Amino acid sequence: MTLKRKLAATLLTAGLAATSGLLTAPSASASSMYDCSYPRVCLYDGAYSARNLFGYFQDTYYQNIPSGGQNRADSVVNTRNDDSVWLLDTGASPDAYICIPRNTAVNLGNYAHPNGGTWANDVDTIKIWGDPDDGKCSDTFQVRQGRVKDGWRP
């Protein structure tokens, strides 16, 4: 084999090795935060940093929070990588929601509720938005809130 062929073969092998390394690079990994395991949305008594977890959800449909947990949450952690979450107050009319984007921890007492006061202790329902969802709230990764007409839910 000539020197040119050896060099070409070596360069080809090195190029293929580099390409295969790029093709098999590890994907982004999911992570937990504040004792909330991926892919859950966790509700807490007090600040999420205190880690007083009292409930979690991971199914992507509309769910009433079981009695004992309704109107109890002071904070929330969304560990999902590509799903936003609505926490709802269905006692308000029309229903009020606060949207938590993907991979976000929120102390609900930091957000004013549309009826006055804060969102702390005003959540009775949760909706995790599954596919297709980009994890955003109104095209942003910021917490957003709003209202939806009564009867919108299943």
CA distances from 108 to 6, 114, 124 (A): 66, 13, 13
Q: How far apart are CA 116 and CA 111, in angstroms?
A: 10
Is the distance from CB of 128 to CB of 82 less than 8 angstroms? no
pLDDT given at position 7: 39
CA distances from 52 to 106, 108, 112 (A): 14, 14, 22
Q: Which two tokens stand for residue 143?
A: 């917490």
Q: How far apart are CA 78 and CA 90, in angstroms?
A: 20
Angle at CA of residue 42, ends 36 and 47, nearest 5° = 90
Q: Where are the alpha helices (DSSP H) in the chain?
A: 3-23
- pTM of this prediction exceeds 0.85: no
Tens digit of each residue's pLDDT, the chain (154 residues): 454 444 344 433 444 344 333 333 334 456 899 999 999 999 999 999 999 999 999 999 899 999 889 999 999 999 999 999 999 999 888 999 999 999 999 999 999 999 999 999 999 999 999 888 999 999 999 999 999 988 777 6
Which amino acid is located at 105 in the chain? A
Q: Which residue has the tokens 């804060």?
A: 118
